Amino acid sequence: MLINNDTIIKDTDERIRLVSEDVPLPLSAEDEALLRDMFQYVIDSTDEEKAERLNLRPAVGISAIQVGVPKKMTAIVVDDQDKNGDPVRYEFMLVNPKIVSSSIQKAYLSAGEGCLSVAEDHEGHVVRSARVKVRAYDLLRDQNIEIKAAGYLAIVLQHELDHFKGTLFYDHIDPKDPFKEVPGAIEI
């Protein structure tokens, strides 16, 4: 499937609010091809030359609903640092991911969140759990996995899994006080 900035559905399209369905395993050829195309989009979107040539917006993740397919599939590529400050890359092609636990402690991105399906800026703190544990089938590894994520990766996972519920990041911003201080929250 061709995925670019023109084919990604935006928040003005009511389909973005659809609730996604579980995906039968093993994956059908069609579902596998879609998930691989989504993963390739994320990889290519961070290459400036490819992004410009292919009309891609930079991304760390994309969920199937963003291309009009209400299925619980997401592709994520996050460059981050491990606890020692060394660079690390997290890559996943997740099917039916589910958050099985989350921390009480909260976190948010200081620069706010963005989304391929949201053209306008929405400023404010998107408060999420600082740590999550996610279980899913990962096509990249061809096995069921458990991800223990903290910080930026935890936020990305929560953002993408929100899409399965028809929730967008700005739904989490307090409309009365977008930059409200959250006691004990980690600012990333």
Note if the bond before 87 is cis, omega within 30 degrees. Answer: no
Sheet strand arrangement including 143-150: 61-63, 73-81, 87-102, 131-138, 143-150
What are the φ/ψ torsions at residue 167 (nearest 5 degrees)? Answer: -100, 135
Neighbouring CB atoms inside 10 A of 115's CB total 24
Q: Is 160 a catalytic residue?
A: yes
User: Is the dihedral angle over the CA atoms 148, 80, 180, 176 positive or is it negative?
Assistant: negative
Q: Are 75 and 62 in contact (CB under 8 A)?
A: yes
Strand partners, 21: 71
Q: Which of 32, 160, 181, 187 is catalytic?
A: 160
Listing DSSP states for 143-184 in one string gives EEEEEEEEHHHHHHHHHHHHHTTT--GGGGS-SS-TT---TT
Active site residues: 160
